[in-house]
Structure 1
Amino acid sequence: MTLYTRFAAHLDAALDALVASGDLPAGLERRSVTVEPPRDTSHGDLATNAAMVLAKPAGTNPRALAEKIVAELNKIDEVTAVSVAGPGFINLTLAEDAWRGEIEAILAMGDRYGRSDAGKGVTVNVEYVSANPTGPMHMGHCRGAVVGDALASLLEFIGHKVVREYYVNDAGGQVDVLARSAHLRYREALGEAIGDIPEGLYPGDYLKPVGEALAARYGDKYVGQSESAWLVLFREEAVAAMMELIKADLALLGIHHNLFSSEAELQAARKPEAAEAWLRERDLVYDGVLEAPKGETPEDWEPVQLPLFRATRFGDDQDRPIKKSNGSWTYFGADLAYHFQKAQSADQLIDIWGADHAGTVKRIVAAVQALTDGKTRFDVKLVQMVRLLRDGEPVKMSKRAGNFVTLADVVREVGRDAVRFTMLTRKADAQMDFDFAKVQETSKENPVFYVQYANARVHSMHRKAAEAGIVCADADLSLLDTRELQVAKLAAQFPRVVEGAAGAREPHRIAFYLYDLAAEFHSLYNLGNDHPERRFVLADQPQLTCARLYLARAIGQIVQNGLGVMGVDAVEEM
């Protein structure tokens, strides 16, 4: 049990005592009651909104209720002061030994510190990347890939069973273009001079190996054949080759999905028809005519009767067609069926989408609500594009890729850790610049270096202590003073940061927190530059050294745990 969960339990016990004494009605909902750090640290160590949350349903005054809660909290040995602020907020000051005890708890729990079973029994499907299988991964895919993967790890960290899913869009017109592009490279591999790549086909050199493999397998069998003879075959072969390329690119980032779902297979299994039938049974799909386009109506517009999903019942602006006039499925119709399939095996769904899909969020949220009777939590996290810079100037495109910068090239240049951490240094829906020079700086301005350096510094301290002949079998943490315990107070917030980040589906909160923790730790360390007695390793004071090294180890453990969630290595030497 961590300090915050322990005091949440203390607060629960205090409220139970008030229920037993008749000062508080039984059965009040407590889910909104929190125990957290106060916004102003001068107010104390912990704060709770219990009186503010419970006063109204209890039919009492918040401040009057707060005074009764204070009387109960004052009975806790670890509490040195409790006060009521404003209309009823309660602030607690703890004995310093409480924070020393948390240092011991961090070291005792090790890589389990911050983990919980809050998500136990709940399966979450996280679908991310899902790039069209038409070429290698580019940096436009990178941010969503990292956000999705870190979020999946974060949810696993709090006990959820997580399904990492990639939806293969292999049923649209873009894969027919891929097949035609592969056929061109196939003819090239057989010796034909193809000249410039025709407009509308994929120009990247990455398709040359695909063409060579097809030539080796089929010889010149499909050179003079009509498209109908080879299109389906070449589409399947090219998509398979592209997916292997994509998986290899993602592996460079340490990303591995455990489920790949094919749109083509979904449609072949008639899943869209099944979803439509399910919705029609509940009068959620009907045959109707779409409204004319807003503004000036095009001359060729004609009213057409289509199957429409009643999206307006669930907050959308208009009902949405699930089929086109030619009888094929709209993108929304196929996507609806895909989410219906996902919801059969998961309790919660999360989609990581590019910001260019913002316009379709409302309709798919409406669809999932309808398909699951509102029982399945569904979040769509939008991710903004990343602008690549080199010394402040936009990066030129890759000739090998055709018209974009590949993820593989970036990872090979700056490293996996720099890419992953940097992608989490801003909220996903905020614009981001990725400057090759800045992400490789060895300074405070480079967050990944600054955080990794904190862990490396911890290990460096221990090496220096060993060189000085200091061996720490245990430590007297009472030697740590108030300034040193400030860092422990921040370290103790890690479990609640994890819980908050998981609940909000925002893994960037871990990166923000680690940077703040590293800054506090480096600040404490740097005090020794001007005040030698503040150094962590003092050869003539082995007991004080051991106490400070225990604190340092606890900070290093938090950094390791947080970086682990982010998929970033906690290096021991830099």
Structure 2
Amino acid sequence: MNLFADIRSLVIASLDALVAEGALPAGLDFANVAVEPPRDAAHGDMATNAAMVLAKPAGAKPRDIADALSAKLAADDRIASAEVAGPGFLNLRLEPGVWAALVEGVLADPDYGTSDMGQGQKVNVEYVSANPTGPLHVGHTRGAVFGDALASLLAYAGHDVTREYYINDGGAQVDVLARSVYLRYLEAHGQEVAFEDGTYPGDYLIEVGEALKAKVGDAFVGKGEQFWLEDVRDFATDAMLDLIRADLKALGVEMDVFFSEKSLYGTGRIEAAIEDLRGKGLIYKGTLEPPKGKLSEDWEPREQTLFKSTDYGDDVDRPIMKSDGAWTYFAPDIAYHYDKVTRGFDQLIDVFGADHGGYVKRMKAAVAALSDNKVPLDIKLTQLVKLYKNGEPFKMSKRAGTFVTLRDVVDEVGPDVTRFIMLTRKNDAPLDFDFDKALEQSKDNPVFYVQYANARVHSVLRKAADMGVEPGKPSLTDEAEIKVAQKLAEWPRLVEIAARTHEPHRIAFYLYELASEFHALWNKGNDHPELRFLAESDSQATAAKIALPKAVSVVISAGLGILGVTPLEEMR
């Protein structure tokens, strides 16, 4: 059930009728004809741009088309009025019975708002993908929440979604991790150590060092790293992945796939990806110009193996092999995305931190080349999060050593609040996360305001159940009730827009708006007894009135489900 889609179908049918009558020319493209909420609610319930977008191709005045269309629409029993405004916009008002029928439809359809827009397309959403060198920090938290909500949103809109984590375990950072764990291992044997050369000083590695001691005893004590580096690296990486999985679970995030970068090395998979590009004439030997801002004396030109990424919109071609024959960091990333393309995904989405902005064009170029422009790649960047508590910046975690961890945030406010607040801004906008406001019970706290609306509904439904009353055929008579129903009608449309634009924050915004309309109706009922949901002496009136709040809870629960937030049935 999608009221906006239904009314758009009515508009298209009316336009077809005008074509059949000769009032409009044949062959018009109706793809850009939309039915939307009006910018000003005073103008009506819905508005269509049909006359405006068809005027030029039809060779007619917008207002003439709008007048003809208005007459057709007014004949439908759902349309109370179809008024032409300005140069040709058409504002529609619906009969009051439409809104009651909508509420009834919401209660009858447990999947209200879901969509087949995705048509089962296979989408890979890669997110978090932090180096396995320590616990996840607050920046990873935002990426994890955004990526997980986006994956849920796309699944809700009819896509076949795979959640994936790319383990960056093939670079030098895992060697640094191994050396750091070795120092903690020596500590476990009673030795004093110094963390130097960029090693990780966080307390989280103490347990790992002790666990290594428990496994190998003193076998590595006093030995050169050629005897222990590989074994300690594997042991430490596994320990960090266990820590990361636990962090993600605390946030309510579960991945379908963990893909190891290390698995690309020595297996021919990097070579296969590069050979694919070579076969397309996109790999060559060359020398790049010095980077902008580099003085000539700072630059030493070297012949390298390059990927001709400029053929696919990049600013410069990119090295994939160094002059010494070693792969650049870009080569395994190409191979990883080549693997995703060959797995048959129809669409790829990567969620990166803000510091990866310079990486977007080259990665899009690589995927375009590898897939022959058949598989789109959307890279979403998540901006920084600033944490505040008691009006001051939240201090770093001693356990992590240098940053605030995901667990620090979740331990302060819980996973539900963390997830909702992380989605109260668009992913590419900076986010201020104030722990005090996140737990505040007021309208200014969006997660509380939405949860409170749902709890209020369940309070009403519990009291009605005590009266032996269940939701019945809805009755909507007041403007405040109609406004709630109108907001419910927007849900399926909003889901499709959010899924199409890859913007799950729209769900959080919508839920706040729906909660606002519901609280406004509740408060109006304090002054107008006839609007109260419960009438102790009238079971029939109660059954009719509680249908609307029940429908509100259906939509709030669905929306919070997409965000990964548990809908509360009572507030404590």
- Correspondence for 2:392: 393
Q: Does 1:523 align with 2:520?
A: yes
**TM-score for the superposition, normalised by structure 2:** 0.96
Counterpart code for 2:479: T
Counting only pairs closer than 5 Å after superposition, residues 175-574 of structure 1 correspond to structure 2 as 175-189=174-188, 191-295=189-293, 297-299=295-297, 301-344=299-342, 345-467=344-466, 469=467, 471-472=469-470, 474-475=472-473, 477-478=474-475, 480-574=477-571
Instruction: Give the percent of matched residue pairs that are identical in Structure 1 and Structure 2.
Output: 57
| Contact 1:480 1:548 (8 Å CA) reproduced | no
| Contact 2:180 2:200 (8 Å CA) reproduced | yes
| Deviation sequence 1:329-370 (CA, Å, 0-9, x none) | 222222222212112221001111111111111221222222
C-alpha distance in 1 between matches for 2:72 and 2:283: 57
C-alpha distance in 2 between matches for 1:442 and 1:506: 27
**For the structure 1 residues 413 and 529, does the alpha-carbon distance in structure 2 shift closer, same or farther, using more than 3 Å as the test?**
same
| Contact 1:425 1:512 (8 Å CA) reproduced | yes
| Count of matched residue pairs | 570
**For the structure 1 residues 52 and 271, does the alpha-carbon distance in structure 2 shift closer, same or farther, using more than 3 Å as the test?**
farther
Q: More displaced, 24-33 or 66-75?
A: 24-33
Q: How far off is 1:286 after superposition?
A: 1.7
C-alpha distance in 2 between matches for 1:27 and 1:192: 84
Q: How far off is 1:388 after superposition?
A: 1.1
Q: More displaced, 16-25 or 86-95?
A: 16-25
Q: How far off is 1:85 after superposition?
A: 2.1
- Correspondence for 1:64: 64
Counterpart code for 1:522: H
Counterpart code for 1:303: P
- Correspondence for 1:161: 160
| Contact 1:480 1:547 (8 Å CA) reproduced | no
| Deviation sequence 1:281-334 (CA, Å, 0-9, x none) | 212222111002334525353221112222222222211111222222222222
Q: How far off is 1:479 after superposition?
A: 5.2
Q: More displaced, 560-569 or 278-287?
A: 278-287
Counterpart code for 2:203: D
| Contact 1:510 1:562 (8 Å CA) reproduced | yes
| Contact 1:458 1:553 (8 Å CA) reproduced | yes
Counting only pairs closer than 5 Å after superposition, residues 75-154 of structure 1 correspond to structure 2 as 75-110=75-110, 112-154=111-153
| Contact 1:139 1:406 (8 Å CA) reproduced | yes
Counterpart code for 2:559: G
Counterpart code for 1:263: E
| Contact 1:350 1:378 (8 Å CA) reproduced | yes
Q: More displaced, 330-339 or 177-186?
A: 330-339
**For the structure 1 residues 296 and 174, does the alpha-carbon distance in structure 2 shift closer, same or farther, using more than 3 Å as the test?**
closer
| Deviation sequence 1:204-235 (CA, Å, 0-9, x none) | 12112222222222222222322122212211
Q: More displaced, 53-62 or 558-567?
A: 53-62
**For the structure 1 residues 543 and 55, does the alpha-carbon distance in structure 2 shift closer, same or farther, using more than 3 Å as the test?**
same
C-alpha distance in 1 between matches for 2:86 and 2:373: 39
C-alpha distance in 2 between matches for 1:234 and 1:18: 75
SS of 2:301's equivalent in the other structure is: coil
Unaligned stretches of 5+ in structure 1? none
**For the structure 1 residues 87 and 343, does the alpha-carbon distance in structure 2 shift closer, same or farther, using more than 3 Å as the test?**
farther
| Contact 2:114 2:492 (8 Å CA) reproduced | yes
**For the structure 1 residues 479 and 511, does the alpha-carbon distance in structure 2 shift closer, same or farther, using more than 3 Å as the test?**
closer
Unaligned stretches of 5+ in structure 2? none
Q: How far off is 1:473 after superposition?
A: 5.8
Q: Does 1:9 align with 2:9?
A: yes
**TM-score for the superposition, normalised by structure 1:** 0.96
Counterpart code for 2:244: I
| Contact 2:133 2:237 (8 Å CA) reproduced | yes
| Contact 1:487 1:521 (8 Å CA) reproduced | yes
C-alpha distance in 2 between matches for 1:386 and 1:286: 41
| Contact 2:450 2:515 (8 Å CA) reproduced | yes
Counterpart code for 2:74: N
Q: What is the RMSD of the two structures over their aligned residues, measured on CA atoms?
A: 1.7
